[in-house]
Structures are given as structure tokens and as C-alpha cells.
Structure 1
Amino acid sequence: MRVLHTKTGQFHSFEDPREVRYAILSHVWAKGPGPHIPELTYQEARDLQNQKDEQNIGASVLSRFPAKIRNFCKIAAEHGYEYAWTDACCINKTSSSELSEAINSMYDWYRYAGVCYVYLHDVPTPTSEPGALARRGSLFRQSVWHQRGWTLQELLAPSVVVFLSSEWSIIGTKHTLAALLEDITKVDRDVLTGRKSLEKVSVACRMSWASLRNTTRDEDEAYSLLGIFGVNMRTNYGEGRYAFIRLQQEILKQIPDQTIFAWGPVLSRKKFSFNYDAPTNRADPDPQVASKETSSLYQYLLAPSPEVFKGSSHLINFPWDEFMQLLGVAPSHRPTYTTTPYGIRAHLPLLSVVIDNAQTKVPTCVALLACKDPRHNDLMVLLIRSQPQQRWDYFVGVLVGELHELMGGTDNINPFPTSSTFSNHYYRMARLSLDGVKKFRAQFSWEDIHVPHWPSLASYNLHRDVRYHTALRNTTSDQLNLSISPWSHEVLKANGYRITQDRCADSVVQLTDAKD
């Protein structure tokens, strides 16, 4: 671990952060160009440290550092800290190995710090008017710091967090502002104040905190959560959203909590009911019900991003021993999940049902999870459907309602719920009362099933370009205008097309078959 001396501005290194007493900085990086001075990098800090001031021999290097680092070191020194750490210049980001180690160690670095100073560049020193800070629309509430992915661990990990205004005045601490911070971030104030350990919070709830935040790079959606779940994994910038899939795989290895599967739309009992008297035969699934093709990101076992956990903050892990006792079986095994070429293999209790409503009857299965909704005293179930011609392979979610008949039982729908009417009828989960579990527990069958955890490469590319496909489907014109790069004109001509330049738009050409 590399830290700055708060008086001299020189780097010092320690093998174990517990060996040294230091302050740590949490902030939002300045983006250039703009009103902010760009952040000081490790290389730039080294260059400044190596420069000699001939007129003032022995002068502190800090005088040549940007104001943010100078002020950080100043307040840390005033509060008795000899060393300070900031991610801007204390990590050599040109070294992939050092960057990966820092990302995996950062939660501990914040946890072991004597104090964490949160610098809010967009929050001026508040007035002394009572309640001004907590007022709706206050600048403290609106600070971008509350919206960034990386700052979630910087809020949770340290035991002492001090919030500073843009003028470096103390606004309050994590403890004194706990109620306000809970309202802004949705993190339980007992977690913020240390009365409840992070490990006792369900995976789904922790994910829901992250769902309210964003990161500049897709990979950081996962990397910024490593310490919050107590896992480590190699970093690989360039892998995109697959980093979040790998994070969930690591969580499955280390945390026995099935709330990780409990995300996405929930089927309401007010509109639909389960019919247990006419179960489907899972050994020979109805081809009209089994999905032939789908483009929904909701059909996979693992979540595509933290965003889909927005509605899962209330879900809690149901102890496995109690879960097995509820089903009336001995706790002879613990749940394990194995990644295979066919998807994640899991041993789950399944029950065949028919989802019944006025428009349609949908045969499907439910997989009972050790996941409880305390608001209704229910357990959560995954709605799963067989893949075509595959007895033990399933997708998650079913299409329910009038659109099921319209689409012939298939689920070829847009993956984004706000952009397609079809998606409003696609459900991943439902609730089953504890009495219902007891009533039908003899009908549950424990089976090894495979559920795909992530789309194939071809499907992933389709999702990536979904906005283009949506625009093409929604066009109302018989004529389609395409912007074609000039280098392709000669290739098109060589393949029998005639190109006519459009005078109204130089970048648009009209393609006509040369034989017409």
C-alpha cells in the first residue's frame, strides 16, 4: 500500500494497511476539460517529487500538488494523521497487476483507515438553518457522490466517515447523518452505524443499493462491489457486462444466499392464480409452451446488472435448515451451483403448476427458493419453463396474459421492460405462502436442472444492438435511408448497384439495382 506523507508529500509504502495509521479520501473524480483541474496521476506525482526547488531547498512537494490533495493532506495533518491515501495518485494505474490488486484490496484499505474524508465538490457549506441539509432538493441530497458506484463501498467500509463541503468545512459524519443518508442511499442506518453487520444483509438487498448508482465503465459495476460481498476476482477491463456475471458466480461460491436469483418482475396473485390440480409433464414438455426462441435478458439465472435488483431490497435469506424443515425433508445436503456448458446446474425443489387467469392457462414449473418476502410472509419461487427437446434444461420466466395467446406461447420479446408492451407480461418470479408450501410439499420434486446464466455471444450482440433493431421494427415508412461510408461505394458498384447522390444530404445515397 502506497500512502502520502501529509507534511512532505512524499510516498511511503507499507505491506499491511493495519501497520500504519492513515486518513483516506473519498471523492468524485474531476472530468476534464471543465471547471475542475484533472486529477493528479501517480506518474505526475512522482515527477513533482523528483523536481528540485533550487530556491527553497527542503520545501514540501505538496505546494506543487493540486488544491484537492493539498487540502486533504492539510486537514488530515491537523487531525493528527501522518499519512494519507487517495486513489488518484497512490495507485500506479499503468500497471495492470497493481491496479487489479488495488481494486481487490480497496474495501480493506477504506475499512482500516482511521478516518475517511468525503469531499463533496458540489455541496457548499450549508447554512445554520435547522433542517436545511435534509430538505428535499438540498444540494447535499443531489450531490453526485451519492450516485457513483465506487462511493458505495467508501460509505460502508470505514467506521468513521466525515463529510466535507466544497470549502473543506465539516458538514457531519456518517453517524450524525445516518437517518438522512438512509433516506438518500436506502442503506439501513443500522448498517451505517455499525449496529448491524454487512454480512447479515441479503445479497439482493446489497445489490439494490448498487442499483441506484452508476459507473463510467461497465466493468466497474462489478469491481466496485467486490469488497461489499467479500469476494476477490481478477480484473479484466474490456470484458464489459460479463464482469457482473463473474461477480455473481464468485458470490455463489462463498455466500449461501438464494436471494441472488430473486430479481425481475413478480407475478401478482391479484391477477393470476396457480392451479396445482393440472400439472404439466416435465419429462415431455409441450412444444407450444416451451420457448422456441427468446431475446429477454430476464430468462437467465444471473442478473445482467445491479439495476434489476431495484425491487428486491426487502427480500431476506431464509435459513437453509428451516427451509428443509418446512419442506419436511432432512437437511442432507447444502445447495451447490456448478457452471457447465449447459448453464448453471442446481439442485432445486420443483413443482408443476398452471398459471390461470381469464385470458389463458399457462403450464409451467416453479422452483422454490430459500428466499423470503417478510412483508407478505411468503417464499419466492422462480417461474421456469423447459427448453425445447431438453428435459432438464430450463429458462427463467414466462409470458402470461392475453399476449401469451397472441404470440403463440413464445417469448421473443424486447429485453428492456420500458420499451416494449410485451415485456410488461413477462414474469420471473411469484410468491408462495408458507401455508402453501406446507400444503403442497409432498408434490415438490428435488431435481438437478440446468439454467443458462448468460446469453450466447450471438444473443449478446443482439441485445447490444437492440436499439437499432427496435428502430427498424417501428419504422412506418416503406423507404429506408441508410448512411453508407464513402469507401463502400465502389464495392457496391462492383456488385451491380447504381449509386445516386442525394443533393439534400451528402452522406445519404440511394441504392438502385443496376438492372432496374
Structure 2
Amino acid sequence: MRLINVETMKLEEYLGSQIPPYAILSHCWGTEEVTFQDITGSGWRRIRGASKIKRSSSICHEHGLRYIWIDTCCIDKSSSSELSESINSMYNWYANSAVCFAYLEDIDSSKGRELIRKSKWFTRGWTLQELIAPGQVEFFDRQWMLIGKKLDLSSLLSDITSIPEDILEDPSGLIFCSVARKMSWAAHRETTQEEDIAYCLLGIFGVNMPLLYGEGARAFTRLQEEIIKEVDDQSLFAWGFPNPNSMQNDDCFLGDGAGVLAIHPVDFAMSQNIIPFPSKSVVQPYSMTNKGLRIELPLVKVINESEIHWTALLDCHYEDDFSAVIGFSLEKTEKTSEFLRSSKIATRRYPIELMKEAELRTVFIRKQLSKRGSKKSTRKCLIRVKSIQPNEYTMIRLEGHNTKWNRDTMVLNMTFEFQERDRQYASSTIMFLDDHINSSFAVIIGIRQGQLSVPYPYGLAKMVNILPKPGNVTLDEWKTECKGATIDWDGTREKEVQLYKLPNDSDRDTPLTIKASIAEEEILNQWIDVLDIEMRRDVLIEAANNSKREIFNVLTSYLT
């Protein structure tokens, strides 16, 4: 650890127990700060930022201390290894300091203490640990006039930062704060580098990890993964509560796919009062795997307008509220025990009685990290054709929007690409032809996913429709007409029509009934959409009694 000797104004280096009593300067970086390379030279006193070093060193000397640490010039940031070591050690350096001087250069305290609320010092990510860790913090205004000490200002500071007064007065109580609460303190703070919003929280959570500048939001994901290794606190997953003062719809709280981990501390903005229940010996440990978070949770199956999702109940609740637990919504994936955290339903409180309906299950929740405003997802649809008479119709796929058809496996692969405040869909037209009698019908399948815009609410809509070929058009004309068919989004998941006897259909005395329906099925441990198309000749009862032959031909295939 390098310290500035306030008498010689030179850097001195100390190791381990050799470190003498020292002060620390906490400040917001400005223009022309003195760097490590500057202070080891001779002309640093002419740099604009030198005044902060001189004034804080003078105050340090008044406190009877010979040494001060200032991040801008005591760390050689050109060395990635030194920078990583320093950031991982910084919380302890603040905690072990004799005093921390917080310089609020944008405040004139002569107009009252309350003005410190407007200081940008309280909006910076790094100053969070600089407020909490030191036992003693003294606040100075732009003129280096003492505003007050942390203990004297604890009520005002708590009101500004939402950090409880007892934590400000005794930082050792930090270990008793929930993960969600600590995350909420950083919800509205900013850092110059995207990665620093994670790195500035290392000491507050008592974890260490290497620094990888350039990884972007991945840094905050790694931070949460390290927390999982160290702390048994499910409030880490209690994020995504809607802001009651926001006009945003609860059912659109993210607007895109979400993983089990938060993307930024702002996701915890409304989670400051979430705490875990007292630990129970029966709670199983959880961990992050290559399939996502492996965790045992009580799940409640919810069926809403033919859509199925699960409510996962966490081992945490609102402080002083024992009538409800915190839960979030899960959507199933193509794998039986794998889920994706729903981006359509916000995290919320659920009555404690719901625990009685829950089934305790070990599941995997995907650790998907996606940027807001964009999402690409795919769905598979298996086509299954059933015929109670010999099938005279040839099946062809005529046209598809965002779909690819594997004729061999009879599977449609549907792709959706989302844009902010928009909706996307995938559709396909499957035509059945009987060239001998100039007969045809088309089955249209459509799946739509919506975003925030009206009249397309967020969610998944499925439809199927059957279009019989009119008798007065040719097959070529019919193909052209089907290509331009409008998708009926008000349609249903099930449709049934009849093709009546055509003028040249003398060998067939009964109409052909076609039924089509779409539903989800579990096939080979995967949940996929299945389009069932059934064709049958509705023979008369007496004709059926005379006939002993019935052919049931199922054309099916399996996912590869």
C-alpha cells in the first residue's frame, strides 16, 4: 500500500503490519487529476487537481497523522495486476483508516447542511463503500469547511442513501444486511466504466474476483456468482419489483427475456426491505452450473388463459411482514426441469398460505443475460397428420414467415426477433392437394409474441385456421390465393371444417372433415408445439356397420 507522506509530499510504500495510521481522501474525480506517474515526477504541483492533495494533506497533519491515501495518485493504474489488487483491497483500506475526508466540491455549506443532498458524491458507485467502511468520516465543502461528521449526520445520510443509521454508525453490522438490501443502495449510483458498478461492491459483499475491463455487464453477473458461493441468501433473486410510482405496466417490467440473475443494481431499487427468513436446516444449498442455477424451490403451477407458468417462492419476505413470501414467475423451456425467469410478470409478494399448494422441486433456472430492448428466441412446431381413411392428399408447405420446415422430420423451426415496443410473429401455410379431383385445403399456423405496444399486449398467442379451396378456382389460382392469406389473430387454437362432395367426386359419397389444433406436448423431455391435423370421412351409421375395415394411419416423426 502506497501512502503520501504529508511532510515530504512523497509516496512511501508499506506492507502488512508495517502500515502506519493514515487518513483517506474520498472525492469525485474531476478534470486534471494527479496520477501516479505525475506525483512521482517534479511538476505535479502545477496540475489543477494538486490543490486537493495539498489541502487534504494539511487537514491530515492537523489530525496528527503523517500519511494519507488518495486513489488517483497512490495506485499505478498502468499495472493491471496492481489495479486489481488495489480494488479488491480497497474496502479494507477504508475500514482500517483513522479517518476519511469526504470532499464535496459541488457544495457550499454556508447555505445549510441539507444542500449536501444535491452533491454528486452520493450518486457515484465508488463512494458507497467510502461512506460505509470507515469508522470516522468527515465531510468538507468546496471551501474545505467542515460540514460535519458521519456520526453527527447519520440521520440525514440515511435519508439520502437509504442505508440504515445503525450501519453508518457501526459498519460491522453490514454482515447482517440482506443481499437485496445492499444491492438497493447501489441502485441509482453510476460509474464511469460499466464494469465498476460491480467492482465497487466487492468489499460490501465481502467477495473477491479478478478485474476484466472490457467485459461490460458480465462483471455484475460474476459478482452475483461470487455472492452465491459465499452467502446463503435467496434475496439475491428477489429483484424486479415494479416501482409503484411508475406508469409502466407490471406485466412489462423488463420487456425482454431475463435470466435468474439481475443485470444491474437498479433491478433491486424496490428490494431494500427484503430479508431472508431465519435459516432452516432443511433448505438445500444451491449453486450455479453450466445449465443455470440449480436450486430447490417451492413451485406453484398457474394456468392462465391456456398459458402455463410457475410461481417460484423464495425463502425471504418483507421485513416485519410474515404474512407473505417473495416469489417470481418461471416459464418452462424445451427441457423438463429447466426454466427461464419470466420477463412478463414482476416479482411480488404472495400469501404465505400459497406454500401449502406448492410442490418442492429441484430445478435449473437459466443464467441468461440479455440486453433490454432486444431478444431472439425460437420455437419448434411438430406437424402430426392423422387419417381414418387412406390419405389421398399430398402435403406441401407453401409459405412461411420467419420459419424453416424440415420435411423429413415434419418440424417447423420458428424464429422471433424482438424490437422495443413492437411485436413479431412466425407463421406457416401447409397445403394439402388431391390432384385427381382438383381438391385442396390449407392449414395456417401462427404464433405471435408481443411487446409493449397496444393493441398487441406482451405475451404469446397461437392460432390455427383451415381454408378449403373453393370449387370455382384452379389449383394454381388457389396456391396464389393462399400465399396472400391474412392471418386471423382472433382465431382459436382449434378449427374444424368439412369439404363437401365435389361435382367430379363421384366415388366419394361423404364429406371430408378436417380438424386442426395446436397445443404443447412434452416429447423426449422437451416442450414443443404440436400441430395435429386430422382427416376423416364422415360415413353414415349403416355404412359403418357394414364396413369392418378402418385404417388409422399416423404420420409422425421425432425431434433429432
Q: Do the structures match in fold with TM over 0.5?
A: yes
The residue aligned with 1:256 is 232
Specify the SS of the correspondent of 1:126: helix
Specify the SS of the correspondent of 1:118: strand
**Residue pair 1:9, 1:62 contacting (<8 A) in 2 also:** no
Q: Which structure has the highest helix share of the two?
A: 1
Cα distance, 1:365–1:100 mapped onto 2, change above 3 Å: same
1:302 maps onto 2:242 in alignment: no
Taking the TM superposition and a 5 Å limit, the aligned residue runs for 1:322-401 are: 331-332=281-282, 334-340=284-290, 342-354=291-303, 360=305, 362-374=307-319, 376-377=321-322, 378-387=324-333, 389-397=334-342
Give RMSD over aligned pairs: 2.9
2:113 to 109, 133, 139: 133
**Residue pair 1:394, 1:450 contacting (<8 A) in 2 also:** yes
1:454 to 345, 369, 388: 369
How far, CA to CA, are the matches of 2:276 and 2:368 in structure 1?
Answer: 21
Instruction: Give the Å deviation of 1:114.
Output: 0.2
- Name the % identity: 37
When structure 1 is superposed on structure 2, of 219-228 and 374-383 the one drifting more is 374-383
1:44 to 38, 42, 66: 38
The residue aligned with 1:484 is none
Cα distance, 1:336–1:150 mapped onto 2, change above 3 Å: same
The residue aligned with 1:10 is 10
Specify the SS of the correspondent of 1:365: strand
Instruction: Give the Å deviation of 1:195.
Output: 7.4
**Residue pair 1:396, 1:428 contacting (<8 A) in 2 also:** no
How far, CA to CA, are the matches of 2:375 and 2:12 in structure 1?
Answer: 45
**Residue pair 2:325, 2:350 contacting (<8 A) in 1 also:** yes
Cα distance, 1:362–1:319 mapped onto 2, change above 3 Å: farther
Q: How many residues align?
A: 374
The residue aligned with 1:24 is 24
Instruction: Give the Å deviation of 1:350.
Output: 1.9
Cα distance, 1:226–1:349 mapped onto 2, change above 3 Å: same
Instruction: Give the Å deviation of 1:104.
Output: 0.5
**Residue pair 1:26, 1:154 contacting (<8 A) in 2 also:** yes
**Residue pair 2:298, 2:313 contacting (<8 A) in 1 also:** yes
Instruction: Give the Å deviation of 1:91.
Output: 0.2
The residue aligned with 1:233 is 209
1:146 maps onto 2:110 in alignment: no
1:100 to 84, 95, 106: 84
The residue aligned with 1:430 is 348
The residue aligned with 1:90 is 74
AA paired with 1:370? D
AA paired with 2:11? F
How far, CA to CA, are the matches of 2:317 and 2:204 in structure 1?
Answer: 22
After superposition, the C-alpha distances for 1:135-170 in whole angstroms (9 at most, x for unaligned) are: xxx2x1100101100000000000000001111111
AA paired with 1:384? L
The residue aligned with 1:78 is 62
How far, CA to CA, are the matches of 1:295 and 1:178 in structure 2?
Answer: 35
2:276 to 317, 324, 331: 317
The residue aligned with 1:490 is none
Specify the SS of the correspondent of 2:135: coil
After superposition, the C-alpha distances for 1:88-142 in whole angstroms (9 at most, x for unaligned) are: 1000000000000011000011000000000111112325xxxx322xxx2x110
**Residue pair 1:384, 1:395 contacting (<8 A) in 2 also:** yes
Instruction: Give the Å deviation of 1:455.
Output: 3.6
Specify the SS of the correspondent of 1:246: helix
After superposition, the C-alpha distances for 1:402-425 in whole angstroms (9 at most, x for unaligned) are: xxxxxxxxxxxxxxxxxxxxxxxx
The residue aligned with 2:248 is none
The residue aligned with 1:326 is none
Cα distance, 1:458–1:71 mapped onto 2, change above 3 Å: closer
Larger Rg: 2
AA paired with 1:29? W
Instruction: Give the Å deviation of 1:295.
Output: 8.8
The residue aligned with 2:93 is 109
After superposition, the C-alpha distances for 1:290-335 in whole angstroms (9 at most, x for unaligned) are: xxxx9945621000000111110110111231xxxxxxxxx35532
**Residue pair 1:252, 1:337 contacting (<8 A) in 2 also:** yes
Cα distance, 1:267–1:207 mapped onto 2, change above 3 Å: closer
Cα distance, 1:126–1:16 mapped onto 2, change above 3 Å: farther
How far, CA to CA, are the matches of 2:243 and 2:113 in structure 1?
Answer: 40
**Residue pair 2:234, 2:276 contacting (<8 A) in 1 also:** yes
Specify the SS of the correspondent of 1:180: helix
When structure 1 is superposed on structure 2, of 181-190 and 369-378 the one drifting more is 369-378
**Residue pair 1:263, 1:309 contacting (<8 A) in 2 also:** yes
How far, CA to CA, are the matches of 2:203 and 2:266 in structure 1?
Answer: 19
The residue aligned with 2:360 is 445
Taking the TM superposition and a 5 Å limit, the aligned residue runs for 1:140-289 are: 140-194=116-170, 197-265=173-241
**Residue pair 1:267, 1:428 contacting (<8 A) in 2 also:** no
Gaps of 5+ in 1: 32-37, 52-60, 269-293, 322-330, 399-425, 463-467, 475-516
**Residue pair 2:257, 2:370 contacting (<8 A) in 1 also:** no
After superposition, the C-alpha distances for 1:424-444 in whole angstroms (9 at most, x for unaligned) are: xx224232223432x33xx42
AA paired with 2:66? E
After superposition, the C-alpha distances for 1:171-206 in whole angstroms (9 at most, x for unaligned) are: 101100001001111111111011760011111111
How far, CA to CA, are the matches of 1:436 and 1:363 in structure 2?
Answer: 17
AA paired with 1:349? P
The residue aligned with 2:414 is none
How far, CA to CA, are the matches of 1:18 and 1:26 in structure 2?
Answer: 23
Cα distance, 1:472–1:47 mapped onto 2, change above 3 Å: farther
Instruction: Give the Å deviation of 1:396.
Output: 1.2
How far, CA to CA, are the matches of 2:98 and 2:171 in structure 1?
Answer: 19
Task: Flag the structure with more relative contact order, 1 or 2, with Cα contacts below 8 A and sequence separation at least 6.
Answer: 1
How far, CA to CA, are the matches of 1:236 and 1:195 in structure 2?
Answer: 29
**Residue pair 2:224, 2:261 contacting (<8 A) in 1 also:** yes
How far, CA to CA, are the matches of 1:69 and 1:312 in structure 2?
Answer: 39
After superposition, the C-alpha distances for 1:262-303 in whole angstroms (9 at most, x for unaligned) are: 1113699xxxxxxxxxxxxxxxxxxxxxxxxx9945621000
**Residue pair 2:23, 2:99 contacting (<8 A) in 1 also:** yes
Gaps of 5+ in 2: 245-252, 378-417, 424-450, 452-560
TM-score scaled by length of structure 2: 0.62
**Residue pair 1:317, 1:370 contacting (<8 A) in 2 also:** yes
